[in-house]
Structure 1
Amino acid sequence: MSRATWAAGLAGALFGAGLALAGMTDPRRVLGFLDVAGDFDPTLAWVLASAVLVSALGQRWVLRRAHPVFATRFQLPAARAVDARLLLGAVLFGSGWGWAGYCPGPAIAGLAVASREALWFVPAMLAGFWLQDRFIR
């Protein structure tokens, strides 16, 4: 296995551990954040704010390098426009998140803690990935 694969696995494990530690593997916590008129739970706001801060600082630091540690060049998105495809994807992602209380990261981390919800959500998510790849591209 390459060093890049090990680094990606370690980063994924660290991300999953952070999600589990913050309670984001529990979809009720996410749904509680979205329930602003009911039993509101602000935990997700703190997790999101922390992630944005770490990401913003980390990206500025990393992009000062000539190239990534395990690659010859950075692979940054070239598209900057907001188009119908982007908006439709955002609506589908947000609707799924609001309906199930999961997005891909916490769902996969939920598998590690044997979350009952993750056991049905992850196969449905993978089927959605397959459908998108098969029919929309």
Structure 2
Amino acid sequence: MGLTMTERKSVTKAIATRYKRAGKTDKTAILDELCATTGWNRDHARRALREALTPRIVRPRTPRPPKYGPKVIAALVFCWAVLGMPAGKRLAPMLPELVLVLREFGELDIDDQTATLLAGIGRVRWSV
């Protein structure tokens, strides 16, 4: 079984400093060793060794805006408690029916938009 990409990168990073300081004959041996370990061809291995020592700028991602506000969260906690605190996997399929029943009997006082969001929690939505 081959190495994972993370393992290949860590091996390359460990060898890169030694490769940079080595002479021509030693570089050949190091490159042969890396190609045998990772399964890369020589051109890719040479490029990976060169790029392993250059620092990369990592920009933090902008966080996704919250979809559910405090009203939906409070109603979700109430529904969760009513059902006996089940796991999310068991709670999600019950929410649409539970929201209708609780609103019908006046136990859950929320507006239509909050009810729609609450009933839709846990459903997979694919956007194209």
Does the TM-score normalized on the shorter chain lie above 0.5? no
Shorter-normalised TM range: under 0.3
- Which of the pair has the greater relative contact order for Cα pairs under 8 Å at 6+ separation? 1
TM-score, length of structure 1 as denominator length: 0.25
More helix by share: 1
Larger radius of gyration: 2
TM-score, length of structure 2 as denominator length: 0.26
